[in-house]
Homo-oligomer: A and B are copies of this chain.
Amino acid sequence: MHLIDNLQYANWSEKIFQQMQEGGVCAVHVTIAYHEMFRETVANVETWNRWFERFPELIFHGRTGDDVRRAKIEGRTAIFFGFQNPSPIEDDIGLVEIWHALGARFMQLTYNNQSLLATGCYEAEDPGVTRMGRQVIKEMNRVGLVVDMSHSAERSTLEAIEISERPIAITHANPAFWHPARRNKSDDVLRALGQSGGMLGFSMYPHHLKDKSDCTLASFCEMIARTADLMGVDNIGLGSDLCQDQPDSVVEWMRVGRWSKEMDYGEGSAGDAGFPPMPDWFEDNRHFGNIAAGLIAHGFSEADTAAVMGENWLRFYDENFGPANG
């Protein structure tokens, strides 16, 4: 089985890379931009390049599905880059191809707010994909940069699925039917995502979980089973949203960036502003075995468990990380 976690944003360290290796994690899609513009995101790539240079026995830069297979054989973890905001392309459609060359494989069209491309889930209104958004989706399709709508509002997400000629992803979110958080997705979105060959990555971030930090593994696995019924067992995987070892200043950057002089608490609140504690069955990269065991216990076959734990993402990587006519 190729274990893939399709979203993490940890305070990276040798310890965490070792935990990935210990946990048998073949690939992790890591966020390298929340609000960073082009040059700042390039600097984040440089930081990753230094980690690749320092810890080659643990991690390397992943670009294709085959890199995941290689990671498994070599006992390392392939690191795939993605953005939670289109800020790294600024206002420039030409940067889509530049970023693919630099290794980016996922780009959210929005974080929580309105972007130049589409609407985030915290805006009062959602007018859908913008004029620039339509152009940029076409270009992302051409070069093989996957549209990610994890933080986008409902209409924008449905339109992105419709407009994109290649399947899109919601890398880290859960179904709203299980826990009606603003970041979780409606049945309509999940159905359209599955029918179009897209992928949902289940989040273990407490604000997206029923009962938050107290969510049980059994409830999480039952939710996965219901989602498989709704959108197909081939269209789901993991996107833990693990933010390990991050100081609370980081969640402030994620929420407020540079767009407001006032604090915005996003999914939190004034009394609960920091990162919430993870559920005890998923605290770091060594705990994916709990989830696999939970799926088996819930009645998933070995094959379906492997599909959810990474084989679905691997197929999606194979099909969507290269040029449209490649």
| Chain A residues with a Cβ under 8 A of chain B | 35, 37, 87, 90-94, 113-116, 119, 122-128, 130-132, 135, 139, 257-262, 264
Contact = CB atoms under 8 A, between A and B. Distances in A.
Contacts of A124: 127-128, 131
A260 B93 contact: yes
A258 B119 contact: no
Main secondary structure on A side of the interface with B: loop
Chain copies in the assembled complex: 2
A214 to B, nearest CB: 31
Given A127-B126, A127-B127, A91 B35 contact: yes
Contacts of A130: 113-114, 123
Contacts of A114: 114, 116, 127, 130-132
Nearest to A87: B91
22 contacts: A37-B90, A37-B91, A90-B258, A92-B258, A92-B259, A93-B259, A93-B261, A94-B261, A113-B132, A114-B114, A114-B130, A116-B116, A116-B259, A124-B131, A125-B128, A126-B127, A127-B127, A132-B259, A135-B259, A135-B260, A135-B262, A139-B261
A250 B18 CA distance: 54
A14 to B, nearest CB: 32
A132 B139 CA distance: 27
A116 to B, nearest CB: 6
Nearest to A257: B91
A262 B94 CA distance: 12
A131 B259 contact: yes
A107 to B, nearest CB: 15
B132 A260 contact: yes
Contacts of A92: 258-259
Given A37-B91, A114-B116, A124-B127, 6 more contacts: A94-B261, A113-B116, A114-B131, A115-B116, A122-B131, A123-B131
